[in-house]
Each structure stands twice: as C-alpha cells, then as structure tokens.
Structure 1
C-alpha cells in the first residue's frame, strides 16, 4: 500500500522563473484589477516613505542642529512624525489588501479546481492518490496566498526600496555610496546560491507533503485491514520513512537559512564598518557632514534588509509558482466526462436499454468487455452473473457514463447515451452499490444529497417502501440523526437501506443493483427483496448478484466470462444446460444451502 507518485507531482527545478505560469496565475487578478492597481500604488508609496526618514534626519542634523535653528528643528520633527504616521498607515493598507487579494484569488482557484475535480472521469481517480488531490486542493492552493501577500508585492516593494535608497545615497554623497555598495557582489552571490538551494529544498518539501498526505489518507481509510492482518509495525516503518524524507527536506531548507542569514549579517556589518571608517576620516577632514554619516548608517541598515529578504521573497514566489504549475496541470487535464450531449427528453424515460456490440477497456487494448450486446425492454429485469473480473460492474459503470466506450453503442430509449444531458440522464438511473458510501451529515442530507426538490414526505414515502422507516424513527433525531464519516455508526444493513431510500426518492426509470443484498443478514435481505419487487414494478432493472436466489425471477439472465457473454436465458432455461456455467454455479450454491 505504498502511495504512487502522480502526474501532477512533477516539478521543474532547472527553470529559474516560469513567466507563462506567472501569467496564468495573474489572470486570476482580472476580477480584482482595481485592488491590484491600488496595491501597486501602495507598494510604491510604502517604498518611498520608508526611505525618506534618514534623508529628513540628515537635514535635521546638518541644517537645524548644526545651525542652532530651533524653529526649523521643530518643523523637521513634525515632518518626521507625519512621515512615520503616513508610512504606518500605508504599510497597513498594503499588508491588508495584499492579504485580501491573496485570499480571494485562493478562493477562486480552489472553486475552479473543485469544480474541475467534480467533472473528471472516474478513471482519473482510479490512478491518482486521494491524498495528492487533497494536497493540491488545500496546501498548494493556500501557498498561492503568500505569492500576493509576501511574495510578488513584497518583492516588488523591496526592489523599489533598494532603488529609492540608492537614489538618496548617491544624492547625499556618491563616495559613501560606493563604499557602502562594495560588499554587494559577495552578498548577491550568496543570495543567488541561497535562492537556488532553497528553491530545490522547497520543491522537495512539497513533494514530501503530497506523499505524506497520500499515505496517511490511504492508511486511515484502510485502518481495519491494517489491524486485521497485524500489519501495524510494517506500515509504521513505511510511515517513518516517508516522514523522515519530509523532515530531511525541511531541515535542508533550515540549514540554508541558518547559513545565509549570518553570512548576510556579517557582510552588512562589514559594509557599515567600512562606511564608518571612511566617514570618520572625512569628518576629521571636514569633507563629510555628521548628518550624512548618520543617514548613511541608517540607509545601510535599510539597504541590506530588503536584499536579504529578496531571496526569501523570491523563494516564496517560486514556491507559489511550483504550486501553481501543479494546479494548472490538474486544471488542464483533459480526462473529463464528455458533457457535449444536450438532449433532454420531454417526458421521463421509458427505460429501454440496449448495448450494441460494445467494446470497452480501462487501459486499451486490454479489453474488459468484448462485443457485448443485450436488450432490456421497459419494465424488464436483466441479471448479470459471472466470476470476479467478468465485466459485470463495468456494464453498470458504462450505463451511468462513468466511463465512455471505445466501440459500439449504448442506447437509452433508442437514443445514443452520449446525446443525453449527463445530469438529466443520471437522475433517471437509480444506483445501489454493494459498498455504500455515506457522507458525514444527517440522514436527510445523505438521502437528498442537498437537493431542495425533495421534501420529508417524499423521504418517508420511500422509506416506507423499502422498510427503513422503523429503524430511522428509532434513531435519536430520526432524519436529523448525525451520520459519522462513511456511516460508521450504522450497521451494514442500515447503510444499505438508506442507499435504497436515496435511490428511490429521485423516482428513477432505470434501477441498478450492484450486489445490493450480498452484505446483509437474511432478515434484512428478505425485507429488501420485498421492497425491490415493488421498486422494480414499471422500471427497467439491471441486477448484479452472487446469490442466485435473488435473480431467479429475472426476465433474462446474462452469464459473463472474461468480458464475453457465454449464456443468455431465464433461470429455468439456463438450468436445462446441464454443463452450463449457470447450472454448475446454481448446483454449487444449492449444495452449500445458499440457493432456494
């Protein structure tokens, strides 16, 4: 049960910047263009206001203090105080709207992504670990908010701040500026190395997170299997290995940070030291003013801070682009259920179902169904019998258009299945599976699936037909009883009955029973069989069952083997085939006391 990597986990580590991905990401800004433009203005204003303070202090020292101008000093102090208030206000607006924009874009992307997931074929989910999709929809999308709040806007602000600082520094004294900038080359080199190393480590972290989520989700879901077979220690060792990979990836990024920031601090201190040494000599010689020295010391502190942060900002942006690239791969996946059909019948379906020389493979050319043809007339019951892997469930999946066939035709009421509006078609097909899935929520929510068109009266009517009213009324809260995840607090039979009610309330014209009574006790099975007989009246029914006692009244029984039809007939007709598959299977079950 080792999680497999999926196609969406591949990342590019050799590409410094993917402008195409950034452009796709910025397309989500379009609905919030006004806020985005305002954020750019605020970013420029923050950078400008943040660099004016040392310049004002330089003027305060060289003009007001040196000349003993108390009035000018008070005026400069008021200007400085106003500057601080304005800078704080603009910084607040920039931070707030940067976070606001990021959260709304995250909301839109997550909405698009989930809508896309709802329309993907089941084959996509067959090959993609659920934990990976959870990572894409939660963690990767959440990372994108940092692109706008801490990545893109903040990095632009840092670059602008550096440019403003350099402009003021050159304006005040070009010699001190060159001294201050003398440590820039080694700092830029260390920043580049840090950026590349952390970028790779962050990508490793994201891959490890997806792998960890996939493993944990799969094993929590299958915990009963792990415990039944006493496999706790082996699975724990697998978890430890994946968890160690995640930890190691994070520690590598921590190592790079622990090296880079002290190096940047040392280089910054060297720059300040050189500045003070040179400026002190200029002060002695009278070529450099006190205010210029104070301003340059402040500018040095301001200058090296954004340079150190740019590498971190860039990696935040790069990490966001890595997540964006993965999300775009998922959004661009073409493995969608084809919804080109738009036919909506004027009246409910009659339930005429025909498979005409159908061939189907999950992975062509490994055919699961080979030239399958049968005709279920309205109101008839067609039963399918065969060993595991014979293709019974595949027929059901094709009728509901969970997958599309490669050859042949499937006709409903004489019209190709692919012509129908998919949502209309599926509302006309009631499906009851062996493995009943119930969502966390109330009994009512699990029956109606959130549909406002179904009222309690319809629910109780369907429950009466199935025989589920009695046990539902005994539950605390009845229809409001909270169902735990996967219906853990209900018995197998109760979950099965709820699935019957869920199928019935939509008044389907075609009923599909996929081994629907194979997991219940004899008493519950008898109750369900009585309900099924009422349910099937006037409806076309396709039944898959291992218990032959449940299908003896079927109008037609189709025996499948390795994707091919081997026998067709009624119960009595097939029993007359002495050496037939059905006859042998019936005799075996009768001998075991499982057939009537």
Structure 2
C-alpha cells in the first residue's frame, strides 16, 4: 500500500471512522476555517494605513484602523482557543473509542491468533499506533485544513491585488508538488518498517521483563541485552534513513519557497518604481507571501506525520480486519445445565501451522468420570483439552457434550460449564479475592471462602495480614508455586463447572505443596467430569479411565490394572515414572 491509491484508501477509511463524530467535527472545521481566515485580515489593515491613512495624515483614521487590528488579534486568540479545545476533545474521544474497540476485538479473536503473534507487537498497535492516529486527528488534520484554506485565501487576495505579481509568487509551486509526490512514494515503506521495528522493541521488552527471573537465573543478561540492542539498532537505522530523506527533501522545498518570496520582493519593488504598484500594496503582498510560505513549509513537514499515521493505520486495521476462527454458529444455543458426557467421534485435528496433532481419535467419557490422558510429549493430550473447551475446532469429526456438538453451543455457555485449569497457572495483578471471583463475580463471601477451604487455600490466605484482600503482584509473583496452584483450583471450584479440564502441575513444587495440591484435587474432582493431563502416579492409578496417546492416535484405553497387564506403551511410561520416583529415594539411602 505504498502507492497513492493505497494512501487514498486508507484516508477514506479514516474519514469513515469519523462519521459518528460528524457534528463535533463540523463545529471543529467551522472554527478551524475561522482560524484560517482571521489572520488574513491584518495585511489589509496595514495596506490601508500606508496607502490611505498616512497619505491623508488622518490620525483618527489611523487610531480606528489600529483598534480594528487589535480587535482582529483578540478574535484570533479566542477562535484559536476554542478550536484547540474542541479538536483535542474530539481527538481524545476518537482515540478512546478506537482503543477500546481494538481491545474488545482482541478479546474475540481465537487462540490461534495469539499463538502466532508477539504480545509486545500487539501492545504497540493498541498504544503507539493509536497515538499516531490521535496526532493525525488532533493536530495534523487541523494544520491541513487551516493551511489549505489559508493558501486558497492568500492566492485569491494576491490575484485580486496584482495578478502578475501573484504568478511570480506561485512559480515554485508546481516543482514543489512534483518533489512531494515522489517523496510520498519513497518514504511510505520506510515508515511502515519503523512501525514494525517499534513493535519488535515492545515485544522484546515485554518478553524480557516477563522472563527476568529466568534470565538472571541463567546469567543471560548480556545475551538478552545484545538481542534488545539488535532490535533497537534496526529502529535507529530505519529512523535515520527516514530522517536523511526528510532532511534532504524539505530544505530544498523551503529553499524554493524562499526563492519565490525573494522574486516577489524584487519584482514588486520594480513595479513600485515604475508606478504600477503602491507601497501599501507591496507591503501587504510581501506579508501575504511570507504567510504563503509558512503553510507550504508546514504542509510539507506534515507529510512526515501523515505518512507515519497512515503506516500506523495499516497496522491497526490489519488487526481490526482479523476475524476470529472460533465463533458462535447462527443456530448455536445456550445450555442451562449439563450432565458432563464427552464424546470424540473420529476426530482429527491439524493446527494452522500444518502440524497434525490428532488422527481419527474416538472415545467417550461418562458423566462424573475422571479420565487421565497419558502419553509422551507431543502426543496430542493438550489438543484434546483445547477441542473440548473449543479453543479450536476439529479438522474432521465431532466433539460432543451430552450428545450435542460443541459447535452448536454458544461459546459463553460452553465455557461456563467447561473450565480449564492450566499447568502454567495465570493469576491477575490484584487481590486474592479478585482472582478467586474472576470466573464468578456474583459469588457470595461464604461461597468464596468455602471454595478456598475446599482447595486447602484458606489457611495460607488468612496467614497474610490482609487476608483475601492481599495484593499478589503481577502474575501472582508474591505467592509460591503451590499457593498459586491452590488459588487456581479454588477459582475453578467457585466457578462450579460440570466439566473440568486439568493439567496437573506438581512436578515443579516441593513435597508439602504437592501434598496440599493433591488433597485439593480430590475435592475439585468430586462429582465432576474431569479430563486430566496426568503427571502423577496417584492420579493415573485412581482414574476411571486412562487414554494413552502416541503420535496423535489413541493406542491404548482402559483402567490402570488392565493396561499394565497388556505390557504396552502405558506400562513402559508407568515403569519409567516409578523409576523416576524411586531415584531420589535411592540416592538418599546411598548418602545415609
């Protein structure tokens, strides 16, 4: 979209975005037009003073003209103040609506969208790119309207005073237009790249701040600094390239404008000597010529801001034009209650990247059953969990909840009954109370405390001075791994889902935390259908059904005892886990 046609399309889209604000915009344009026209009056007063009042030596007329001049300056100040206020309020309203619309749209996009994008780049679009559009609406547009109207007014006045001299004043304009047309074509891709560079900087910064503990633990600060230096250097180099082009072109434009003004002064002086022009008219003409140069120079400089805003607009509208892959079908229904029966019918699933995760998978989970998913890394366990919660749709086959295809259930309704507790527990910055109530804000105090007790979290919560109102920091950084897991389980209990998808996370916590998490799990799973991505031997042994996956296929299915007798993949995986559990014990005995 580097072409002039691309610019036009983007500007048309921005104009359509401003339609809801047309009345405020009309008022702002009216004030802006006044702001453009009022400064054109003083040179006419100067002309009258020199050609009429001084010639007549009429002091009263001079005082009258000076008073009128002061009145015009006062009017200009009042109009400028009102214009500035209205434009800034309009700009802030436009940006407020656009930014919140962007955020709301992001909430609707599917999980696959976020898995293929960098968080920092998305943040840059919602912050920096939107800010560039705000500058366009609030400032750049004003300059364009004011300067364009002022240029038209000046040209009319110049031709009305002396058409021959006006032609000399306009002599540089065609050459300036040709230069700017070429510059627009050259500079647009550079500004687009600068926007991408800023997104990369935000992405790198966001990732580093989030992973600071890992960076410091492995002593990788120099490496991460070099990576950040690389993206900053790219931004610097592309920005310098744009500055070089800008500083090469625009001084030339200003030179042409100034040379035109010098020609006007020279030709005008000659016409005064020849008696073809009055001194007052020449003074007014020179004043208008100077005013003529100012909007031309500013319009050329505004081109920089326009190109930057258009590049930002491309990135914003690319985001707004992205459509969610997982949406409610037209005939989708709400479900008030579910039994919790889950059925996979010949399900195959290929990720957008082209990787096949599941192939012809079929099984059934009865209401209230706990099913453990077991298999090596990449076997398809997480893919099954994602399909049940409908973060993705199967490529082939059907996923049923109580005999109903999950695609026929509204997403909000489905996820009210199906809750996922991830291994990588995510807690929001805020209080413990806010995090517990996240899935069910209307829950009572008693219900919240009961859920915390069921997850064996109440005691450690009350050990904090502020109890449930304790601030836990960004992503729960002030809590231990075990505490975060129990809060996540309490949040799931409070949401009271009929189906629970659980990725066990006990391998990264100490023995005491593991004990309390396991007790909490026992409470969480009571009376619920549960699909557990199992890591613990106790969970595997006590599961009603074990589904063994390998390469995206179901290779074994049954209870623990049955699968052990078959001496297949499950027995190998189980033996490996037993060996891993036994190793620390054997090591401690050796040390003793």
Query: Counterparts of 1:186 and 1:478 in 2: how far apart (Å)?
Result: 73
Given candidates 295, 308, 315, the residue that maps to 2:297 is 308
Q: Secondary structure at the match of 2:531?
A: strand
Q: Indicate the SS of the match to 1:552.
A: helix
- TM-score, normalized by length of structure 2? 0.93
Look up the match of 2:355. 366
Name the counterpart of 1:7: none
| Deviation of 1:363 (Å) | 3.4
How far apart are the structure 2 equivalents of 1:220 and 1:213?
A: 11
Correspondence for 1:344 among 316, 323, 334: 334
Q: Distance in 2 between matches of 1:30 and 1:550?
A: 59
C-alpha deviations, 1:95-117, integer Å up to 9, x for none? 22222222211111111211111
Among residues 493, 499, 510, which one is paired with 1:510 in the alignment?
Answer: 499
CA-to-partner distance for each residue in 1:300-355, whole Å, 9 max, x for gaps?
11101111111222332232222222221211112332122642224x21111111
Q: How many residues align?
A: 583
8 Å CA contact retained: 1:192, 1:311: no
The 3-state SS of whatever aligns with 2:547 is strand
Matched, 1:91 2:80: yes
Q: Which whole-Å CA distance do the structure 2 matches of 1:192 and 1:15 have between them? A: 9
Q: Could you tell me whether the CA contact under 8 Å between 2:439 and 2:494 is conserved in 1? A: no
Aligned counterpart in structure 1 of residue 570 of structure 2, from 555, 565, 582: 582
Determine if the alignment matches structure 1 residue 201 to structure 2 residue 177. no
Q: Distance in 1 between matches of 2:353 and 2:194?
A: 36
CA contact (8 A) 2:342 2:366 kept: yes
Aligned equivalents of 1:465, 1:442: Cα separation in 2: 19
1:192 Cα deviation from its structure 2 partner: 4.0
Which residue in 1 is equivalent to 2:264? 275
Q: Give the Cα separation in 1 of the matches to 2:294 and 2:204.
A: 41
User: Secondary structure of the residue that 2:53 maps to in structure 1?
Assistant: helix
Tell me the equivalent position of 2:98. 109
* CA shift for structure 1 position 148: 1.4
Deviation at 1:226, TM superposition (A): 3.5
1:536 to 525, 530, 534: 525
Q: How does 1:135-214 map to 2 (within 5 A)?
A: 135-214=124-203
How big is each residue's C-alpha offset from its partner over 1:217-257, in whole Å with a ceiling of 9 and x where there is no partner?
22332334444444333332232222112112222333344
Structure-2 change in CA distance of 1:315 and 1:262 (3 Å) = closer
Of residues 498-507 and 222-231 in structure 1, the stretch that sits farther from structure 2 once superposed is 222-231
User: Is contact 1:432-1:516 (8 Å) kept?
Assistant: no
Match of 2:590 in 1: none
Q: Post-superposition shift, 1:450?
A: 7.7
- Whether the 8 Å CA contact 1:45–1:90 is kept in 2: the answer is yes
Partners of 1:560 and 1:482 in 2: CA distance: 41
Q: Distance in 2 between matches of 1:365 and 1:47?
A: 58
SS where residue 441 of structure 1 aligns?
A: coil
Unaligned runs of 5+ in 2: 586-592
Report if the CA contact (8 A) 1:430-1:504 is conserved: no
* Aligned-partner Cα distance in 1 for 2:355–2:510: 37
Q: Secondary structure at the match of 1:178?
A: helix
Q: Could you say if the C-alpha distance between residues 392 and 416 of structure 1 is closer, same or farther in structure 2, counting changes exceeding 3 Å?
A: same
2:448 equivalent to 1:463: no
Q: Distance in 1 between matches of 2:495 and 2:234?
A: 49
Name the SS for the 2:554 alignment partner.
Answer: strand
Change (3 A) 1:262 1:319: closer
Report how far residue 197 of structure 1 moved. Answer: 4.7
| Mapping of residues 142-541 of structure 1, within 5 Å | 142-340=131-329, 342-346=332-336, 348-363=337-352, 366-449=355-438, 451-541=440-530
Between the aligned partners of 1:324 and 1:592, the Cα distance in structure 2 is 55
Q: CA deviation at 1:539?
A: 1.0
SS of the residue 1:576 aligns to: helix
Q: TM-score, normalization: structure 1?
A: 0.93
Q: What are the superposed Cα offsets for residues 375-398 of structure 1, whole Å, 9 maximum, x if unpaired? A: 111111111110000111111111
Name 2:539's counterpart in structure 1. 550
**Shift in Å at residue 204 of structure 1?**
2.8
Secondary structure of the structure 2 residue equivalent to 1:143: helix
Structure 1 position 563, deviation (Å): 0.8
Q: 1:17 to 1:155 in 2, by over 3 A?
A: farther
User: Does the CA-based 8 Å contact 2:417-2:499 persist in structure 1?
Assistant: yes
1:547–1:594 CA contact under 8 A, matched in 2: no
Separation (CA, whole Å) in 2 of partners of 1:78 and 1:17: 50
Q: CA contact under 8 A between 1:433 and 1:513: conserved in structure 2? A: yes
1:437-496 per-residue CA deviation (whole Å, 9 max, x = no partner) reads 112111112222285312332211101111101111112311111121121111100110
Name the Cα RMSD after superposition.
2.2
1:343 is paired with a residue of what secondary structure?
A: coil
Secondary structure of 2:530's aligned partner:
strand
SS in 2 for 1:559: strand
